Amino acid sequence: MLMVVMSYAEAAKLAVAEAMRDDPRVWCVGEDLGRGGVFKQYAGLREEFGPDRISDAPISEAAIMGAAFGAAMVGTRPIVEMRFADFALCATDELINQVAKARFMFGGQSRAPMVIRKPMGMWRSSAAQHSQSLEAWYAHIPGLVVVCPSTPQDNYSMMKAAIACDDPVVYLEHKNIWALEGEVDTTAPGDFGKARVRRSGRDVTIVSWSDCANLAESAGAVLAERGIAAEVIDLVSLWPWDKRAVIESVRKTGRLIVAHEAVSVGGFGAEVVASVAQDVAMKVRPRRLGAPRSLVAYAPNLEDQLRVTEEMIAQAAEEMMEAKAA
């Protein structure tokens, strides 16, 4: 075990650098990479690996995705930087109709080992076109792996796993936590479909991912002070997702809250609730916490009306503990 304190951005950068040193087929392509990327998640890599492997691209997400797909089909392993998940919608046709379906359409004779990085979520006063959480869209598409790391450790381990994966990985890093620091074990593997129990408890299960998992963990600490033992589960990857871990937890607690920053309507939380409801008889009805079906405003006071907060999660858990059986 080798523990190092680093930021969320530094952890992913280290994972990328190590993969590039180990495998000459790994390269990065996107806008502004030569300048280190929007969030400096590529800072210094061009100096080490040169412009052929840290490749600046024109402002055309469709061209970036399409060119990287072709390169993946002939044997390289591109890391595709989409700058923002919102901008990546310009490349949706290439991703959904080509990249995701390549292995199936070619009968396994070809594949698309790509990591598609899409910084997601609300970033203060970035407004409706730069604040979206669209992870449920990609979890819906057969052929894609979907990852939503919430900590520096997961951003290191899951990035290494994503680069090594032979299928395309939609890799969603939250815009608001690039500076978040934590200990990283550089020997720890990343496992798709393996959730992390952030807190253990017997009273209520709280399931989340991405930055909202950090809020859920904080809410768990608040609840502990109020005499409620919450089990907080960070899914880490949404496809595959760790259904067994969630079901086993809810069988123990009898209560389920799913919290995510994305709009509740059609969100991945509905998949979690439906899956658990089919297997577990709960003490009270499950709860979903997410944004209303509304666009994100620029004004901070309006933006805050759409956020899931630590206190919202804690309050939902307290209400569940007081509720009568469903």
Active site amino acids: 130
DSSP letter (8 states) at residue 296: P
Rounded Cα–Cα distance for residues 178 and 204 (Å): 30
pLDDT over 90 at 323, yes or no: no
Domain endpoint, select from 185, 220, 243: 185
Phi-psi region of 84 (alpha: psi -120 to 50; beta: other; left: phi over 0): beta
- Domain match, 160 and 30 both: yes
- Domain match, 27 and 138 both: yes
Per the CB < 8 A criterion, the answer to whether 144 and 112 are in contact is: no
pLDDT at residue 131 in the model: 84
pLDDT at residue 303 in the model: 87
pLDDT at residue 152 in the model: 98
Per the CB < 8 A criterion, the answer to whether 33 and 7 are in contact is: no
- Which residues are CB-neighbours of 144 under 8 A, at least 6 positions away? 95, 99, 100, 138, 167, 168, 169, 170, 239
pLDDT at residue 198 in the model: 98
Does residue 190 belong to any structural domain of this protein?
no
Per the CB < 8 A criterion, the answer to whether 150 and 214 are in contact is: yes
Does residue 170 belong to any structural domain of this protein?
yes
The pLDDT of 111-117, averaged and rounded, is: 97
pLDDT over 60 at 13, yes or no: yes
CA dihedral 58→62→64→68, nearest 10 degrees, is -160
Residues 282-311: pLDDT tens digits? Answer: 989 999 999 989 998 889 898 889 899 999
- From the centroid of its chain, how far is CA 280? 26
With vertex at residue 245, the alpha carbon angle to CA 244 and CA 249, rounded to the nearest 5 degrees, is 115
- Domain match, 40 and 177 both: yes
- Domain match, 65 and 205 both: no
pLDDT over 80 at 211, yes or no: yes
The pLDDT of 230-236, averaged and rounded, is: 98
pLDDT at residue 127 in the model: 83
Per the CB < 8 A criterion, the answer to whether 319 and 285 are in contact is: no
- Domain match, 87 and 53 both: yes
Does residue 179 belong to any structural domain of this protein?
yes
Residues 145-179: pLDDT tens digits? Answer: 999 999 999 999 999 999 999 999 999 999 999 99
Does residue 3 belong to any structural domain of this protein?
no
The residue type at 243: K
Rounded Cα–Cα distance for residues 256 and 323 (Å): 13
- Domain match, 215 and 160 both: no
pLDDT at residue 326 in the model: 53
pLDDT at residue 112 in the model: 96
Least confident segment among 12-16, 24-28, 104-108, 214-218: 104-108
Q: Specify which residues 183 forms β-bridges with.
A: 5
Does residue 116 belong to any structural domain of this protein?
yes
pTM: 0.95
- Domain match, 209 and 313 both: yes
- From the centroid of its chain, how far is CA 152? 12
DSSP output for 155-219: HHHHHHHHHH-SS-EEE--BGGGTT-EEEEETTPPP-TT--EEEE--SSEEEEE-HHHHHHHHHH
pLDDT over 70 at 5, yes or no: yes
β-pairing, 145-147 vs 237-239, is antiparallel
- Domain match, 178 and 203 both: no
- Domain match, 109 and 233 both: no
pLDDT band at 124 (very low <50, low <70, confident <90, very high): confident
Does residue 191 belong to any structural domain of this protein?
no
Q: Write the burial class of residue 52 (CB in 10 Å: 0-12 exposed, 13-18 middle, 19+ buried).
A: exposed
CA distances to 100, 159, 205, 273, 284 from 17, rounded to whole Å, are 26, 11, 37, 38, 48
- Domain match, 254 and 212 both: yes
Number of domains in the chain: 2
pLDDT at residue 324 in the model: 66
Rounded Cα–Cα distance for residues 114 and 230 (Å): 37
- Domain match, 58 and 145 both: yes
pLDDT over 80 at 14, yes or no: yes
pLDDT over 80 at 2, yes or no: no
pLDDT over 90 at 28, yes or no: yes
Q: Which two tokens stand for residue 282?
A: 């709960």
The enclosing domain of 78 has a CATH number of 3.40.50.970
Rounded Cα–Cα distance for residues 14 and 17 (Å): 5
- Which residues are CB-neighbours of 92 under 8 A, at least 6 positions away? none
Does residue 153 belong to any structural domain of this protein?
yes
- Domain match, 43 and 165 both: yes
pLDDT over 60 at 325, yes or no: no
Q: Which range marks the domain in which residue 248 is found?
A: 196-322
Residues in the chain: 326
Domain endpoint, select from 164, 185, 206: 185
pLDDT over 60 at 65, yes or no: yes
Rounded Cα–Cα distance for residues 198 and 213 (Å): 8
- Which residues are CB-neighbours of 147 under 8 A, at least 6 positions away? 158, 162, 169, 170, 171, 172, 192, 236, 237, 238
